[in-house]
Amino acid sequence: MVQSVSIRPVRSKADVKAFLDVPFALYRSDPHWVAPLHVERQEHLDRRRNPYFQHAEAELFLAVRDGRPVGRISAQLCSLRTARYQDGVGQFGFLEAEDDASVMAALTEAAGSWLLDRGARHMQGPFSFSINDESGLLVEGFDTPPSIMMGHARPYYAARLTELGFGKAKDLIAYGFADTGTLPRGVMLAAAKARADHDIRIRSLDKKRLAAELRTIVDIANDAWSDNWGFVPWTEAEMTALGNNLRMLVSGDYIAIVEYRGEAAAMAVSLPNINDWLAGLNGRLLPLGWAKLAWNLFSSPPRSVRIPLMGVRRKFHGTAVGAVLGMSAIVQIRDFHTRRGTRQAELSWILEDNLPMRSMIESFGGRPYKTYRIFEKQLAPP
């Protein structure tokens, strides 16, 4: 007889390992899933090392049947988000489960109960942990691997959540680019005009001044996105963590900063899509995985890149100058990568209703090829 599902919180190192191992069995037959690095995910879950926990609390849960983990979920509350919106929303994330309605139900009930006990009236996700981390559940685009810091999923996940009363809160769009070596004529003319404009300076990040440059990037991002749905500002500690990651992964040319009349007004950040290199490592760097990863990182340009951060200061939104500033940042990064031979890129993610940004991306030849959905469910009466 098949035993019922039991839910337990993650407490020990063995539990953390089991939590991280859950997806491996679920995606064994999926050629497009890329195993994340255990060491990186362990650090992300570590309350002492992840700056998210300076302003948030979370609980991790495992679903177990017959002594075997069959699913996982997190529940979390961010004090910055709570103070900003005061809407009674808690969040869930890291959702993985076998195709069994009872498993998904038990997981979401555990997360919902934890949030309800702490005053939340709605649950929303997945966010792992924050909207500034991996966000959304893949609902379209299962036929290609995810890019760096983007998720993958089994197609049945969305259906299971819908059966449990979850509805759509917002869709996040990932745009793909297959560069042919030329830009649309209008974009080329606008880029040339921007480069000739003495009011506009387009430059790469100066790694010798990394701390100051990161403050500029985060300041632009926090200003540019402040009116966006679900926005939570980056903190100083999160900025430092971002800098440590960028220092290891990229040169200054991966990042563009655009100044207008002496003010840093726009930026765009690209990352090598290390998922191209993680495939085959099975999430582990030992015994030789670290050498393979280092070789790929430093021996040649990446096959593809992702642009996870792009923003223009709010005062330029809806203006011709703002459009030129944003376009200039993307063109700067695009030109750097195409000179090196990289031809594939992802710009993600974009809110489904951010039509000005979507229009600009599509003017470059970007095509929406993956959709990630934020689900929500009411936990208690209003």
184 and 166 share one domain: no
230 and 164 in one domain?
A: no
Q: Other C-beta atoms within 10 Å of 250: how many?
A: 18
Identity at 129, one-letter amino acid code: F
Helix axes 320-340, 355-363, angle to 10 degrees: 40
Can you give the pLDDT at residue 378? 97
pLDDT at 327 over 60: yes
Q: Check the CA dihedral 42-45-48-51 and report its sign.
A: positive
Q: How many of the other CB atoms lie within 10 Å of CB of 295?
A: 11
84 with 232, same domain?
no
In a domain, 55, yes or no: yes
Between 190 and 42, the higher pLDDT residue: 42
Q: What stretches of 155-209 show up as alpha helix (H) in DSSP? A: 156-163, 185-196
* pLDDT score for 296: 62
Residue 334 scores a pLDDT above 80: yes
Find the domain containing 45 and state its range: 6-172+374-378
What 8-state DSSP symbol labels residue 129?
S
**Structure tokens that stand for 169 in this block:** 């809160």
Pairing of strands 122-125, 89-97: parallel
Distances (CA, A) of 273 to 66, 153, 276, 277, 345: 38, 18, 6, 8, 9
Instruction: Tell me how many degrees the CA angle 363-366-368 measures, rounded to the nearest 5.
Output: 125
Average pLDDT for residues 335-362, to the nearest whole number? 92
Q: Is 32 within the bounds of a domain?
A: yes
pTM above 0.75, yes or no: yes
Residues 42 and 190 in one domain: no
Q: For residue range 278-312, what is the model confidence (pLDDT) as tens digits?
A: 776 676 654 545 556 665 666 678 889 999 999 99
- pLDDT at position 51 is 95
Residues 19 and 82 in one domain: yes
Answer yes or no: is 351 within a domain. no
Residues 10 and 114 in one domain: yes
Is 247's pLDDT higher than 50? yes
Q: Is residue 363 part of a domain?
A: no
How many whole angstroms separate alpha carbon 302 and alpha carbon 294? 12
pLDDT at position 271 is 92
Asked, for residue 262, whether it belongs to a domain, the answer is yes
pLDDT classification of 1: cutoffs 50, 70, 90:
very low
What CATH number does the domain containing 72 carry? Answer: 3.40.630.30
pLDDT tens-digit readout, 86-140: 999 999 999 999 999 999 999 999 999 999 999 999 999 999 999 999 999 999 9
Identity of residue 12: S
Model pLDDT for residues 345-356, shown as the tens digit of each residue: 999 999 999 998
Q: How many domains does the chain have?
A: 2
